[in-house]
Each structure stands twice: as structure tokens, then as C-alpha cells.
Chain A
Amino acid sequence: MIFRCGHFRPFAMFIGLALFSAGCGKQRLPSDPAPAEKSFPSAVAPRIIEKSSADPVAGPSVVTSLSFRMLTAESGFEFVRNDDMHGQERLFEVNGGGSAIFDFDADGWLDIFMTNGCRVPLALQSKETPGRLFRNHQHMKFRDCSEASGLMQYGYGTGCAVGDTNEDGFEDLYIAAFGPNQFWVNNGDGTFSFVSGTDIPAVPEWSSSVAFADLNADDTLDLYVANYVAESDTHPKLCHDSKPDVGDTGCSPSFFDGVSDSLLLSDGHGGFLDGSGAAGLSTLPGKALGVVICDFGGDPAPEIYVANDGEANFLFSLEIKPSQGEPVCPDHVTLRERAVFANVALNEQGFAQASMGVAASDLDRNGLVDIFLTHFFGESNTLYLNHSTSDSLVFQDATRVSALGPPSLRKLAFGVVSLDVDNNGWKDLLVANGHTNDRTWSGPSAPYRMTPQLFENQGNALFVDVSNAAGDYFHRELLGRGMAMGDLDRDGRMDAVVSQQIDPSVILQNKTKSAGSSLFLRLIGRTCCRTPVTARVTLMNTEPTACEYLVGGGSFQSASANEIHFGLADARSVDLEILWPGGDREIVTDVTPGYWTIRQGDHRAWPTNHSETVAD
């Protein structure tokens, strides 16, 4: 009926209307729009946290007078370490090496030794890249005298320690290694002689840092060797890498077994005996990377602090059985571990951190030596302030108070020295940074090379990161490792040497313009060791207390100059109290800023001649 012609027009209208409506109709949006379609108001203040730069150092508003200049080849100091790096990041190739600053020829000018690596496996006996000795020719000029000196360190050198073991007035050198360690005696004529295994026990472990000190009170220098982990040079441990197309790569230290450290006691005749077992070290395996020997308790017996990688750190006090007139034997010395009681085993959160470098210095000027440790990426460096009493060794984790924590969280720190850069009497901190593993392919949040850092002590161990304003060096992204300090140009300002991986190692010349006056003391023991490690010098009548210790070891795999340095600001003269190892006290008055040598018992200071040795 609808389709009859007479009635077609209305139906056509219906159809037309229907078609028209269908053509114009839009799909109504669902009541719950798909989330992807939701629009965000552009006027809302941004709430997304800005992506941090890979290097969150102090901003441009930091002002400091501290300044360093970087020197490399132009000074004659040319050294690029060979770590046998081939991309596999085997554990031994990521730690790098160390440096020693010492006056090997006793001309009053500090020289530099750099440990070097080699090709691995060690059986290759690669002699292509020995360690290098650079003689100081003054005015920041150095010359490689390795061949002339005979000091040819082959093998995979790691750390080193300096001390006058035979008391002849010339400092000797012990070199730790991944492989056989080496002991080089200074002949006193500009040359060195290698000491064979019969006179010094072999240390079979992978050694990292080493430190000299008289550890059994027999007035001869002994040696503490920090050993790392059990690892093979022929079959190094490899782990699967998440990076595409890499396959196996190096493993984290947690995959390795720790090993015990070594205690080598002087036999009094130029050789050493192994006192490790008798001392109890064999029952205390660790993963030691740093060691420092110092009088932490102020009593004046030495203690040994060992920085372990990812495990609780050690603090050893020494128990020495009386010798009753006989030469002290290795079994007369026992080490008692007390880091837990002293609160220096773990950090404030109860974590064992990946400790690498250690600096021991009185940072808050309370007369006691504090400990500063450098750690892995994502962990803060840690400062332990010393609050020991005559009854007990006690420290407190003061990382938060010191403001040293946050700037170090995105760094992986190795070598560290505590030095008064501007001679204002407060010790600052210089830190070498650089990751161990290159994961930059995963994005900017995984930095490899890192900028070093300089922390200025504002007083009372409160620090500010002044890296941004302290010189061009602090803007360079590097793989910093060992670090040693010493006044290389004898201008009264402390300099430093940094061992680096891949890039040339550098000298950091202190160019701080506003630096006050300073005092550099060379101490020569007579009844105690000639190198009187753990001696303490105090500036009398000074508030707050100003005292310095001659420490053994410190930093990472490095040895700083065996000198005491005081920043005197504008003081014209000072009186000194010296506490020698063994307990002798000595007062020396009216010492003016400059370079002085103090021999035990003289009660006076001799000017340190920079061209000849002081006769005994």
C-alpha cells in the first residue's frame, strides 16, 4: 500500500528524511572517552620532575677561591695506563691503578711513580708497559727516568706504598698487583733494586692497596697488604650482559669470593716475614680495596682501617705480646677486629657499601682522625666523624650532617685525598670519579665517565661541592682512579696526581690565589721508624684544635707524600707538639711557615733544603 503512486510522495519524504538524517548523524562520544583521547590542560604548571643532568654538581651560584690547573704532557708527565681493556670489563681491568708521590732521590723535590697494567693472561710476561717513574725537575717539569732508575715494574700493577724500610734515608717502594707483588729497594743513588721472593714473602692474592707502618712496636716498618677477591687471569669470571650483541662480560664483585689480607712484618734486616696467620687475618676474608693506618684513638697505638667492597669494613687494633728482649716474631702480633663496635663497619642505614678509597684526616678539628670513604654509583660517599675517648674507639656516620651524601649519589668514586687547598686550616676533599662499566647504550641515566669533585670544608666538617668553580678539570668526564697528594712545585700549596683509565693521567696543580701560608714538615724518626707513620703533630695554642697525622696508605691504591701539611692562614709562627710512635713527646717552638725537617729528639726544626738531604 505504501508504494502506490498516489501515496508515494509522503513515503518518499519519509525515505528522504531518513536518508538525510542518517547522512548528517554523528557517532556520539562514549560516556567514558578512551584515555588516549583525553586532553591535558596546557595551562597547568608543569609537574613532571625535570630530568636531571647526568652530573648534578653545584650550580653556577657556587663561589670558591679553590682552583686547580690540569697538567699532562706539557709538564713532561705523560702516562696512559694499560689496563688491557677489551670491552669485556673483567673485574681486574676496571679498577685501574695508583700513583705514589715521594722524593726518591732525596733532593727535596717530590717525584711521581705510576703503576701500570699489562696484557692478560700474565703468563704472556708482557714487558711492553711497565710502571713509570718521573723525576721532578722543578717548576712542574718532570722527566721519565724509569729506565735510568732500573725501576721497571712489569706485570699488572695496582697499588703502591712508600717507606724507608732499611732506614738509609731513601724511600723504598712496594707495588701491589693482580699477580705477584713487587718490592723495590731504593739504592740511594737514583736507582732501585728488585727484592726477590726469599727476602719478602710472596702474596698470592690479588692485592689492591698497601700501607707501611710499624705494626709490632719494634721500630721497623711493616706492611699491611689489602687483598681483593679470588680471580683467575687465565679464566676470568664472566657474566651475561644485557647489552645486545655483547654476550658475556665482567661480573659484579658479589660473584667473587673474598680473600684475607696479608701482614708482612719486618725482620729487622731488610726482609719481611709473613705474620698473616698468627695475626688472625686468615679467618677474616674480605674484599679490600683501600687501607689506611693511623692512630685513630689518640693513644698513640696505630689502628688499621680496611675498606671492603660490598662487605663490612674492618678496623683492627693491634695486640702485641711483649718480646722480653727477643726480636719480635710474627706470632707476637694479633689483630683484633672492632669495626662494628666502633660504628665504622656499616653506614648509618646498616648497609655494607662498596668501599673503594679512604681518606683519614681530622676534618672537624676535634683532634681525632675521621674517616671518609668513597663508594659505588647510587651509594653516597660516607663520612665517619671520630668521637673516640680514652676508653673506646667510637665513630658516627655524619654523612647527612656534612652534606657530602647527595652530591655523591650519582658518582662512582675511587681515589680521595683530604687536603687543605687554600691553607685556611680546614681540610677539603678531592675525589676522583668514573664508573667501572660502560652502560651508556642504555641511556643517559647510566653515566660511564664522570666529572671529579672538590668539596670545600666550610668548617666543622660541613662541605660544599665547589667543583663547578674550581677549574676546567672538574668539567671533564673521566675515569678517575688512584689519587695521591703532595706539594710538587713547592709553592706552599698542595697538589695532586690522578691515575686515570683510557685517558692520560694528570697532575693537578693547586692555583688557589687566596691561599694562606703553610707549613710542610718532614719527620725523621730516630728511636722509632725513620718514616714515623702514625706520628701526630699538633699546633699548640690553636682553637679549634689543629693536628695532623702521618698516615700509612690512604686514598685508593696510592701513596701520598710522607709529609705533614698545615694550612696556617695568616699565622706568622707556630709552636708544635710532636707525638712520635712509641709515645715520645717533643715540643718545637717558633716555627715559621715554610718547609721544615724535624728529627726526633732535636727539639728544633731544620729548614728542608730542596737540593740536598739533611744529614743524620
Chain B
Amino acid sequence: MTEAITGVNKESVRRRRKRQLLLLVMCILVLVGGLITFRSMDSQLPLGVSRVDFEKAAAEFKEEYDRPGDDFDVLMTLAEMAAQKKDSATAIACYQQIPTKHVRHGPSARYQEALLFAETDQVQRAEDSFQEFLKLLEQGHQLPDSKVAHSRHWLSLIYGVEVRQEDRRIVLHSLLQDHQADIHDVKQYYFGSLLIWQTAFGSERVRDFLKKDPDNRHLRVAAARYCIGEGRLKEARQQLGILRSEDPKELRTLAVLLESCYDMHDWSAFAKEFASAPEFSKDEPWLLTQLRGEWALHQNDWLKAEEYFQYMLETDPPNAVCLMGLGRALAGQKKSKEREIIRQRSLLVAKLRVDLSAITHDNPKGARSVASSARQLGMEDAAAILEFFAARMPDGTP
């Protein structure tokens, strides 16, 4: 009997111990699982945001909207709170966790982070974010007009500072098409090649941008261009030589390098670099096409020069440099009558260039004067738009 009782006790102890062991294993599993879950939740928090911050933002959202927010709602709230505190880094980190595809918050996140990138001189990221935001338009999203216009203006400014006229023109075209352009955009779009780009403002901004992103190629090429614009040609050539060795096929660098050789009247260096240029392409930088024309002139290849300058003038009718180049090409071919026409256009463009400074938001006379010159150059669209703006200015009634 005792043996039976003892045996029964041992069995129950074994069962009890099994249960305990099972319980312990379960506890460990729960613990591990809990830890994994808990830690993964924390690791998804943006940089600079603690769990406490997150919960606080969630609570604020719930209080404001009378419903609990999902993670993206809370991230938006966190971003806005950080932005208000001027904590750009945290705000950006929050926005970046919101995918563009998110219906409610994606577009706004891209736009807001782009603004913060721009305001903190991170222009490449700003450009990428603005472009991603604007791409949504093409995909059929409804975006607030004011934000679309603002994004485009920012891009126009960035491209202007980086002397990327081709990209800027695309953005300006969009502004014009969607009736978002102001009169300065009109001036830049139609007469950009006549405006002074090598400003102290642009030069300083490029330096500021490079501090944040010293490897940015666009900025480095732009910095070299400003050097050229300030007469520091040797310095520019050194920088461009480095850029060229890093990417020999990149055409914008080649174009600016050729410009420095041209400005130094160093035709032997020009020839050496030009030898590696690919065949002409409609997608190449405008500066390169223009310099192809100058090279052709130097070679007395008048026909070729005429072709290149005419091509440029089709896109940019008031391009003074190309008009002068075309004039020389026509003179070389003894086409006196055609040359005389180009001469007169050059004079008209020279006058128009000075008149551009009088185009302001409140000077209808200035706008109409340029419109008149534009009309003489055959730029009917430009004339019409300028007159449209003039009519809407104070005292602008014709």
C-alpha cells in the first residue's frame, strides 16, 4: 500500500514538474515573443522620437480628431510638432516613414519634407522630394494647387542657383501651363538667357549647399560655373578637371570646362577636350550646343555654326549670344541680307534685355514695352502673356 502510495506520489510529482516545466517554457516563449514585439515596435520609431513622444502624439491626435489614429496619423502629428519646435531633423525623420502611396498623408509628407530639406540647404533631397510629390499629379492624384505651385517655384529656384537652365525651363513651362506663373516666371521662361545668372546670391547659396552635400555633382559643376562668372578661370578649370576625371562621360561638366577654355581663349585646350565630346544630341546641355557653334566658327565651318545657332534660337529666340554667333556664321558665308536681319534682331534683343529690369509686378509700362519687343521678335506667346499681366496690374488698363 505504501509502495502504491509512494508510486502515486512520484507520478504526481513528475506530472507537476512537467506542468511547471511546460509553464516555464511557455513563459519564456511569451517573454521572448513579447520582447521581440516590444523591441520591433520601438525600432520603427523615427530618429529623435521616443515611445513616450509617440504615445503623447497619439493621445493628442485622438483628442483633436476624436478617434484613435493609426501609426501614420501619429507620425504626421509628430512631424508637425517637431517642425513647430524647429526640429527639422526629427520632422524629416517622421515624414520619411510615411510612404508616398499613403492616401491621406503620403503627398503631404513628401511636400513637407521637401520644404524642410530646402530650408536646411539639402537641395538634392529637396529636389527628389519635390519631384516625387509632383509625380503624383501625373499619376492622377488631386493635389492642392498652392502646394504644386510652391513646389515648382522651389524647384525653379534650386535649378536657377545650380544653373540648370534646361531643367528650370521644364518647371517654368509647367507653371505657365497651369496658370501658376507670376510675371517673374514669365520673364525667366522666355528671356532666361538674357538675365544675369552669375549673382552673388547664387554663388553664396551654392557654397552653402555644398557644405551640406560636398559630393553633389550638380553643385560642384555650378560652383565651377560661378567661378567662371567671377573671372576665376584657372580655379574653375582645376575643379572641372577633377569632375571630369570622376565621370568623363558627363556632358554638363564637359560643357562648362569648354566654356572655361573658351573664355580663356585657349583653343588648344578646347580642342583637346572637345575631341572627347559625343555627337550632337537634342538632349545635351544647351551650353554644349552653343559651344559647338563657337568651335565651328573658330574652324570657319560657317554652315555647321549656322546650324547649331539656328537650333538654339528655335528653342530660345532672344538668345543674344547665339544671335551674334549666327551673325558671324552668316557673314562668313557672305549672306549679307540675312546677316543684316540678325544684326537688327541683336539690337532689339540688346534693348529688350535692358527693359527686362523694368518688369516688376506693378509696372505695366515695363511689361508692355518688353511685350512690344517680343512681338517684333516673333514671340507672340510671350507678348500675349506679358500684356495679360500688364492689364491686371494697378493702373494697367490700356
Check B207–A48 contact: CB distance below 8 A.
yes
- 0/1 interface trace, chain A 8-50, chain B, CB 8 Å (1 if under): 0011011001100110010111101111110010001011111
Main secondary structure of the interface of A (DSSP, over half): loop
Q: Establish whether residues B343 and A49, one from each chain, have CB atoms under 8 Å apart when the complex forms.
A: no
Does B34 sit at the interface, judged by CB under 8 A?
A: yes
A35 B231 Cβ-Cβ under 8 A: no
User: Is B347 a contact of A340 with CB atoms below 8 Å?
Assistant: yes
Q: How far is the CB of B38 from chain A (nearest CB, A)?
A: 7
Q: Interface digits, A242-255 against B, CB 8 Å rule (1 contact, 0 not)?
A: 00000000001011
In whole Å, how far is A343's beta carbon from the nearest beta carbon of chain B? Answer: 9
Is B347 in contact with A14, judged by CB distance below 8 angstroms? no
Chain A residues whose CB sits within 8 angstroms of the CB of B207 once the complex forms? 48-49, 51
Q: Which residue of B lies closest to A51 (CB)?
A: B207
Q: Mark B339-355, 1 if CB is under 8 A from A, else 0.
A: 00001101101110111
- Indicate whether A610 reaches chain B with its CB closer than 8 angstroms: no
Assembly CA distance A191 to B21 (angstroms)? 126
Residue of A nearest to B346 (CB): A350
Asked if A153 CB lies within 8 Å of chain B CBs, one says no
A340 touching B357, Cβ below 8 Å: no
Binds B, one of A201-209, A355-363, A400-408: A400-408
Q: How far is the CA of A44 from the CA of B242 in the complex (A)?
A: 13
A409 at the interface (CB under 8 A from B): yes
**A27 near B354: Cβ-Cβ < 8 Å:** no
CB closest chain-B residue, reference A410: B230
Contacts of B125 in A (CB 8 A): 35
Q: In whole angstroms, how far apart are the Cα atoms of A36 and B43 in the complex?
A: 19
**A-B CB contact pairs (8 Å), 17 listed:** A17-B31, A17-B35, A30-B47, A35-B117, A35-B212, A37-B89, A47-B215, A48-B207, A49-B224, A49-B235, A56-B231, A56-B232, A255-B358, A311-B354, A340-B344, A341-B343, A346-B350
Q: Are A409 and B350 in contact (CB under 8 A)?
A: no
Residue contact B354 to A310, C-beta cutoff 8 Å: yes
Chain A positions 402-442 with a Cβ under 8 Å from a chain B Cβ: 403, 405-410, 442
**Interface residue A513 (Cβ < 8 Å from any Cβ of B):** no
- Indicate which residue in B35, B88, B215 contacts A21 across the interface (CB closer than 8 Å): B35
Please name all residues of chain B whose beta carbon is closer than 8 Å to the beta carbon of A49 when the two chains form the complex.
207, 210, 223-224, 226-227, 235, 239
In the assembled complex, the CB of A292 is this many whole angstroms from the nearest CB of chain B, namely: 21
Q: Which residue of B lies closest to A377 (CB)?
A: B200
Tell whether A35 pairs with B122 under 8 Å between CB atoms, given A13-B27, A400-B263: yes
- Return the 6 tightest CB-CB contacts between A and B, nearest first: A406-B231, A350-B320, A445-B200, A28-B43, A409-B231, A352-B350
> Residues of A within 8 Å of B, CB-based: how many?
60
Interfacial residues of chain B within 193-209, with CB under 8 A of chain A in the complex? 196, 198-200, 203-204, 207
B231 touches A408 (CB 8 A): yes
A479 close to B (CB within 8 Å): no
Kindly report which residue of chain B lies nearest to residue A18, judged by CB atoms: B31
Contact B47 A350 (CB under 8 A): no
Count A/B pairs, Cβ under 8 Å.
168
Chain B residues whose C-beta falls within 8 Å of the C-beta of A14 in the assembled complex: 27-28, 30-31
Residues on B with beta carbons closer than 8 Å to the beta carbon of A33: 47
Decide: A400 near B46, CB < 8 A? Known: A48-B223, A255-B358: no
A60 interface residue per 8 A CB criterion: no
Given contacts A30-B97, A254-B354, A346-B346, contact A47 B214 (CB under 8 A): yes
In-complex Cβ contact of A405 among B117, B231, B323, B346 (8 A): B231
User: A346 touching B43 by the CB < 8 A rule?
Assistant: no
Interface residue B254 (Cβ < 8 Å from any Cβ of A): no
- Asked if B200 and A446 sit within 8 Å, CB to CB, the answer is yes
Q: Is the CB of B117 within 8 A of A340?
A: no
| Distance from B232 Cβ to chain A, minimum over Cβ atoms (Å) | 6
CA distance A407 to B231 in the complex (A): 6
The verdict on B120 contacting chain A, using a C-beta distance below 8 Å, is yes
